[in-house]
Chain A
Amino acid sequence: MIVYVFDNTLNGLLTAVFDSFFLKQQPEFLLAEGEQLPLFADEPHRVVTDVEKSERVWKGLEKHLSKDGLHMITISWLSEDRALNQPLFNFICKVFRLKVKELERNASDPDVLEVRNTCRRVLHEQLRMKQFIRFQKAKDGTYLAVVSPDHNVVPLIIGHFQDRFNDQPWLIYDAHRHYGYYYDGAAAPIRITFEDEATVPFDLSNGKMNDDILSENDQLFQELWRTYFKAICIKERMNPKKQLSDMPRRYWKYMTEKNANL
Chain B
Amino acid sequence: MLTEKTMEKLRILAESAKYDVSCSSSGTVRSGKKGMVGNTVGGVGICHSFADDGRCISLLKVMLTNYCMYDCAYCINRRTNDIKRATLSVSELEEITMEFYRRNYIEGLFLSSGVVRNPDYTMERLTAIVRDLRTVHRFNGYIHLKTIPGASQELLQEAGRYADRMSINIEIPKEESLKALAPEKDHKSIFLPMSQIQQGVLENKEDRRKFRHAPRFVPAGQSTQMIVGATKESDKDILLMSNAMYQQPTMRRVYYSGYVSVNTYDPRLPVLKQPPLVRENRLYQADWLMRFYHFKVDEIVDDAHTHLDLDVDPKLGWALRHPEFFPIDINSASYEDILRVPGIGVKSAVLIVNSRRFNRITSYHLKKMGVVMKKAKYFITCGELTSVFSQPIIGINELRPERLRPLLLSKAQQKRAAAEQQLTLNFEE
Chain A residues engaging chain B, CB cutoff 8 angstroms: 100, 103, 105-110, 113, 127, 130-137, 143, 145, 160, 162-168, 217, 220-221, 223-225, 227-243, 246-247, 255-257
Whether the Cβ atoms of B10 and A237 lie closer than 8 Å is: no
Find out whether the CB atom of B53 lies under 8 angstroms from the CB atom of A233. Answer: yes
Q: Across the interface, do A108 and B34 meet the contact criterion of CB distance under 8 Å?
A: no
Residues in B whose Cβ lies below 8 Å from that of A110: 368
B353: min CB distance to chain A, Å: 9
CB-contact partner of B50 in A113, A165, A225, A243, under 8 A: A243
Most chain A Cβ neighbours within 10 Å, of B53, B260, B355, B359 = B53
B121 sits at the interface (CB 8 A): no
**Residues in A whose Cβ lies below 8 Å from that of B11:** 227-228, 230-231
B56 on the A face (CB < 8 A)? yes
Complex interface: chain B residues within 8 A of A231 (CB) = 10-12, 14-15, 18
Q: Note all chain B residues with C-beta closer than 8 A to A223.
A: 7
CA distance A131 to B258 in the complex (A): 27
In angstroms, how far is the closest chain A Cβ from the Cβ of B54? 3
B53 touches A135 (CB 8 A): no
Tell me the minimal C-beta distance from A161 to chain B in angstroms.
Answer: 8
Q: Which residues of A contact B6 (CB under 8 A)?
A: 224
Q: When the two chains form the complex, which single residue of A220, A230, A235, A257 contacts B2, counting CB atoms closer than 8 Å?
A: A220
What chain A residues lie within 8 Å of B55 (beta carbons)?
A: 232-234, 237
B49 CB-CB contact with A under 8 Å: yes
Sorted from nearest, which 4 A-B pairs have the closest CB atoms?
A242-B54, A239-B54, A231-B14, A163-B32
Query: In the complex the two chains form, is B54's CB within 8 Å of A236's CB?
Result: no
Q: Which residues of A contact B374 (CB under 8 A)?
A: none
Residues of B within 8 A of A257 (CB): 49
Q: Which of B10, B35, B260 contacts A228 (CB 8 A)?
A: B10
> Does the CB pair B103–A167 fall under 8 Å?
no
Chain B, range 229-288, C-beta contacts under 8 Å to A = 258, 260-261, 274-275, 277
Bound complex: CA A221 to CA B60 (Å): 13
Complexed CA–CA distance, A257 and B49 (Å): 9
B202 within 8 A of A: no
Are B51's CB and A160's CB within 8 A?
Answer: no
Q: Are A107 and B355 in contact (CB under 8 A)?
A: yes
A166 pairs with B103, CB closer than 8 A: no
Distance in angstroms between the alpha carbons of A162 and B39 in the assembled complex: 10
Asked if B275 and A236 make an inter-chain contact with CB atoms under 8 angstroms apart, the answer reads yes
Residue of B nearest to A135 (CB): B103
In the bound complex, CA of A48 to CA of B204 (Å): 60
Closest to A247 in B: B50
Assess the B103–A107 pair: CB atoms within 8 A.
no
A145 CB contacts on chain B under 8 angstroms = 104
Report whether B52 and A256 are in contact in the complex, using a CB–CB cutoff of 8 Å: no
The residue that A143 contacts in the complex, of B19, B103, B277, with Cβ under 8 A, is B103
> Is A232's CB under 8 angstroms from B50's CB?
no
B160 CB, min distance to chain A CBs, angstroms: 24
Contact B358 A134 (CB under 8 A): no
A78 to chain B, nearest CB (A): 20
Could you mark each residue 1-31 of chain B with 1 if its beta carbon is under 8 Å from any beta carbon of chain A, else 0?
A: 0100011001110110111000000000001
- B179 at the A/B interface (Cβ < 8 Å)? no
Contact present for B355 and A229 (CB under 8 Å): no
Q: What residue of chain B has the Cβ atom nearest to residue A130's Cβ?
A: B46
Cα distance, A132 to B350, chains bound together (Å): 30
Contacts A163-B39, A223-B7, A256-B105 given; does A108 touch B100 at CB 8 Å: no
Chain A residues near B12 (CB-CB < 8 A)? 231
- State in angstroms the CA–CA spacing of A136 and B67 once bound together: 34
Q: List 7 A-B contacts (CB under 8 A).
A: A108-B365, A109-B358, A135-B102, A165-B37, A232-B51, A236-B260, A237-B277
Q: Which of B10, B54, B351 contacts A243 (CB 8 A)?
A: B54
- B168 interface residue (CB < 8 Å to A): no
| Contact across chains for A165 and B7 when beta carbons are under 8 A apart | no
Q: A135-B103, A165-B102, A232-B18 are contacts. A238–B53 as well, Cβ < 8 Å?
A: yes
Query: Cα distance A102–B348 when bound, in Å?
Result: 18
Assess whether B31 is in contact with A233, with CB atoms less than 8 Å apart: no
Query: B361 an interface residue at 8 Å Cβ cutoff?
Result: yes
Say whether A228 contacts B103, CB under 8 Å. no
From known contacts A113-B368, A221-B99, infer whether A242 and B41 are also in contact, taking CB-CB under 8 Å: no
Q: For the complex, is B354 an interface residue (Cβ under 8 Å from A)?
A: yes
- The reply on B393 being an interface residue by CB < 8 A is no
Interface residues of B in 301-323 (CB under 8 A from A): none
B356, B357, B358 — most chain A CB neighbours (10 Å): B358
Cα separation A95 to B67 with both chains bound (whole Å): 66
In the complex, chain B residues whose CB is within 8 Å of the CB of A246: 47, 50, 54, 56
Q: What residues of B have a CB within 8 angstroms of the CB of A143 in the complex?
A: 102-103
A247 to B54, CA, bound (A): 9
Select which of B7, B14, B15, B354 is within 8 A of A105 by beta carbon.
Answer: B354
Please give me the residue from chain A that is nearest to B31 by CB atom.
Answer: A163
Min CB–CB distance A225 → chain B (angstroms): 5
Q: Are B46 and A131 in contact (CB under 8 A)?
A: yes
Beta-carbon contact of B103 and A137 below 8 Å: yes
Contact of A227 among B10, B354, B359 (CB under 8 A): B10
From known contacts A165-B37, A239-B53, infer whether A224 and B96 are also in contact, taking CB-CB under 8 Å: yes
Task: Tell whether, in the assembled complex, residue A229 and residue B49 are in contact, meaning their CB atoms are under 8 Å apart.
Answer: yes
